[in-house]
Chain A
Amino acid sequence: MAIVIIRTLIIYTSIFTVMRLLGKRQLGEMEVSEFVIAALIADLAANTLQDTGVPLLNGVVPVITLFCLEVIVSALGMKSIRLRSVLFGKPSLLIHRGKIDQREMKKNRFTLDELMEQLRAQGLNDISKIEFAVLETSGNLTVIPYPEHQPVSASLLGISPPDKGYSYIIINEGRIMNENLRRAGYDIGWLQKKLREQKLRSAEEVYFMTVNKLGEVYLSLRGENV
């Protein structure tokens, strides 16, 4: 029993470290090689965890080897465009100026249902309004509508709204995020003043608080429910 726990801890730490080193992309949009690695790592870990008769090294060594290979393959892909397209594939233009490219659809084994599903997910269901739809190597569909169907932007309207900048979280479940407070250009004195204005005695009474470049504050109190 203890052995299983220790083995689980070691495998978990190894996989966690490897996934962390592979970067955030691994957790979201995966390239083919990344998907292969994720699937293999999961299987390797499960086998080693279940069978205590298998040396732990037999689980850890392949995980490390896969990590090394992934890093090397990614680096090679960065160096050569040709190799990158071989390793990770190329984006495919599924819709070109409002017309579906059936050859590309077939090549990517992408059905009309899947195409319509992805378009609906992006709030579009009329193909004639779409100028381009690109199937990315990650499997995501990027849709670019014709200019007249694109969402209205401030520049199109000819207005220049104030730049509110990034909203920094300065209180997170009662804890003051000093680094964020400094980055936002404020100090603890300013925060205490803001809290007093809201008739609050300490940051502990606050569940969530943000501030932007213009000094606009969003505040949610602890225990506050909708």
Chain B
Amino acid sequence: MKKELSAVILLILMTAIALFNIFHLRSVTGELISLADRAESSTAEGDFASARSYIDAAVALWESEDYYTHIFIAHSEIDGTADSLFNAAAQLSEDKDSSEISAAFNELRYHLMSILRMEEVSIGSIF
């Protein structure tokens, strides 16, 4: 009976960790998307200094989550997201075309949403 009880507890514990993981990932990606949105709107307003500070904050946040992401997320997704984040940061200059900047931020948002979708429980992510 002890073994069966341990199995049930272990399953509940793993489910709780999985739910916490989704909650944490939602919070991190939400924060990153918000910073990306603010950086993009600052760029549209011509305020590149603010845009740079927002994107730097996004890079710092992403790097602070390095251990977490490598343990929980497929490494190809991490690489894709990191590449798009650094690409978005690289686009932040006055001589860049606004459509290029917008495309870079759209790609970043797509990657961030993608890693969240992979973890969130939905018909799509299951099948």
Contacts and interface: CB of A to CB of B under 8 A. Distances in A.
- Report whether chain A binds chain B: yes
The secondary-structure label for the interface of chain A is helix
A150 interface: no
Given A61-B14, A64-B14, A65-B14, A53 B7 contact: no
Chain A interface residue bracket vs B: 10 to 19
A54 B73 CA distance: 8
A72 interface: yes
B75 A55 contact: yes
A68 B75 contact: no
A66 to B, nearest CB: 11
A57 B74 contact: no
A53 B76 contact: yes
Contact of B7 (A54, A61, A72): A72
B74 A55 contact: yes
Interface string B35-68: 0000000000000000000000000000000000
B4 to A, nearest CB: 4
Interface in B1-55: 1, 3-4, 6-8, 10-11, 14
Contacts of A75: 1, 4, 7
Given A21-B3, A61-B14, A68 B8 contact: yes
B71 A64 contact: no
A64 B17 CA distance: 14
A61 B21 CA distance: 13
A67 B76 contact: no
Given A68-B7, A72-B4, A72-B7, A57 B71 contact: yes
Contact of A57 (B7, B8, B72): B72
B3 A71 contact: yes
A55 B11 contact: no
B69 to A, nearest CB: 9
Interface of A: 21, 52-58, 61, 64-65, 67-69, 71-72, 75
